Structure 1
Amino acid sequence: MPARSPAQNLLDKADKKANSSTGWFSSSSTKFEEAGDLYQQAANAFKLENSFREAGDAFAREAECREKCKEMNEAANAWWNAAKAYKRGYPDLAIQALTQTITHLTHGGRFRQAADREKEIAQIYWHEINDLRKACESLERAGDWYSQEDATATANACFKEAADLHAEIEEYPQAIARYEQVANHSLTSALTKYSVKEYWLRSCLCALAMKDVVTAKRSITKYSSQDTTFTSTRECKFVNVLMEAAEAGDQEMFTGAVVEYDKITNLDNWKTAILLKIKRGIVQDEPDIL
Structure 2
Amino acid sequence: MTRQSLDLDAVRAFIRIVELGSFTRAAEALRTTQAAMSLKLKRLEEMLGFRLVERTPRYVEISAQGATFLELARELLEAHDRALSAFTGARQRLTIGISDHVAGPELPALIARMNAQDPELLIEIRIGSSGDLLQSFDRRELDTVFVRQHADRSDGKVLAQESFGWFASPNWQRRANEPLPLATLAEPCGVRAMAGRLLDDAGIPWREVFVGGGVTAVAAAVMAGVGIAALAPRMLPFGAVDVGAKLGLPELARLPVLLHTRVHRGRAHEALDALCAAFRSVIRS
Q: Do they fold alike, i.e. is TM over 0.5?
A: no
More strand by share: 2
The structure showing larger relative contact order (alpha-carbon pairs under 8 Å, at least 6 residues apart) is 2
Q: TM-score, normalised by structure 2?
A: 0.24
TM-score normalized by the length of structure 1: 0.24
Q: Which has the higher helix share?
A: 1
